[in-house]
Structure 1
């Protein structure tokens, strides 16, 4: 293939990739209260504030979506002075709110509140996540641009116990400088976790941690033995040197 044809192919591929990437809206976002993780069924809430609303368009629709269950959205529009222009409440997994410069709206504040959903598919790595909130700008005609998305790790009591045990085992293996037996057992723990066998995963992980600790202990003992042997060799060399010099001194005396 000629360089010209190759270049055209590369450009065409880049154009396809560019077209596949959804544009990102220029709306500025800040958030409060977004947790890093949540147990299934726990109540979760977060607040998002949107500014720079009209960088691209003077009117558009703010769309919010979530995986939370039993959801309530509270949407407040504020003017430049911070006075409330309107307030709406929505129930369900999504909402749509019209935003327009003509309404004097300068800032939109959205609070989402609901319960962390069930985990559909347990995976140790990457950790299980759900969409706490996904916001997008929607124009007339349906063109959609992403604004921001928050994802949160969720877990059950059993899966959290297994994950904690696996993480502890991994730390022990790292401290030991690696151990084949412990690493193999840890792989069994991760596989059991992915199969939702959390009791087995916890047991495997605890065994892996013990194996790593034993390996580290053995290494420490072997190092002490080596240090002891080295110390004995040094002492032996010193004693030999002293005896050698003494014997040479005796020889000089006899010659004298």
Structure 2
């Protein structure tokens, strides 16, 4: 028995008890054709109520609609164009996003600035669309992209990176505070002693053992821990 077996078995039992039938889980739609929305949603999602994130996504869609364009097919270049049109990250934050900073540190840049930086980074690496991001993952080139992402202001932890992959429908685990809290409780550790990486590894292992979709497993845990409905009603027989 290796060091992971005990905690993984504890988490597996807890997930089996709490999450119900995986065929009935409410699954995340993500943005399979919009790298722009993956960037916006993932970077705005940390340290914020998700309602505020949805507001920014809606604002971006509305802005693009006024241009007779479709936000749900925008890549990183289109996102950068909108930022330029509105006078840079500051103007974009006022018109489309919000003025939340990347951290509570004095002088921390706006999340809109981090979005612009992340988009520029991906374009420089030749990744402009979700399909190109998925290709990088399939070709074993994703680690270099991850390292570049983590150099963007406020993104060092890698949590927004994992979430962006999930939104682009690339298998992974977004070990945010809800997933960390749930996993820590399941394995009997204080939340402060469980790293995002460790939680990520444990959830991935449970999904592999059960044959569950890793993205859907992460989302089901997140919904349960945040008090949301995990499963839809079963169809009547």
Q: What TM-score range do you get, normalising by the shorter chain?
A: under 0.3
Instruction: Return the TM-score normalized by structure 1.
Output: 0.20
More contact order relative to length (CA 8 Å, sep ≥ 6)? 2
Whichever structure has more helix as a proportion of its residues is 2
Structure of greater Rg: 1
Instruction: Return the TM-score normalized by structure 2.
Output: 0.21
